[in-house]
Amino acid sequence: MSVSSSGLSSSAAPSDDPQRTSDPLLGRRLLIVEDDPYIALALEETLTEFGLVIAGMARSVDEAVRLSRDDGVDLALLDVNIGHERIDPVADALAARGCPFIFTTGCGRAGLPEAHLEHAMVEKPFYVEEILTALRSELSRAEER
């Protein structure tokens, strides 16, 4: 699956994966912070198909900070640049409560918040499998702490 401004596409259905029932992402509540409404909608629809529960969608940093403080969020997917704002306050709020998160960006690692360089990043345009792998990795890393 890849994402573009027109959405996600798939080469295999989620149910084709025999290990899906043991996927650590199943039932996890995900916060998506993405200012592009088409990408956000495509992520919501596709990640739901893979067993994640969308706990919230934010298109602004203020809204994302508010949602990131909610105990109903297990993981987060953060676009680095939300309009003209940077995602740093959201990453700080999530890190303060030990909530795992990953970044998406078209700017490479140099654009990540300096305080959170250890977190996984997926470069746009991306495949949904990259998002899922990065989320699993961050979840595993957080559970080891």
pLDDT digits 0-9 by tens, 112-122: 999 999 999 99
pTM here is 0.86
Quote the pLDDT of residue 81. 94
Each as own residue / partner, the long-range contacts of residues 138-141 (CB below 8 Å, 24 or more positions apart, any chain) are 138/75, 138/100, 138/101, 138/102, 139/24, 139/25, 139/28, 139/74, 139/75, 139/100, 140/24, 141/100
pLDDT digits 0-9 by tens, 62-92: 999 999 988 899 999 999 999 999 999 999 9
Quote the pLDDT of residue 98. 94
Q: Average pLDDT by consecutive 10-residue portion of the chain (145 residues)?
A: 46 51 93 96 96 97 94 95 95 96 93 94 95 96 88
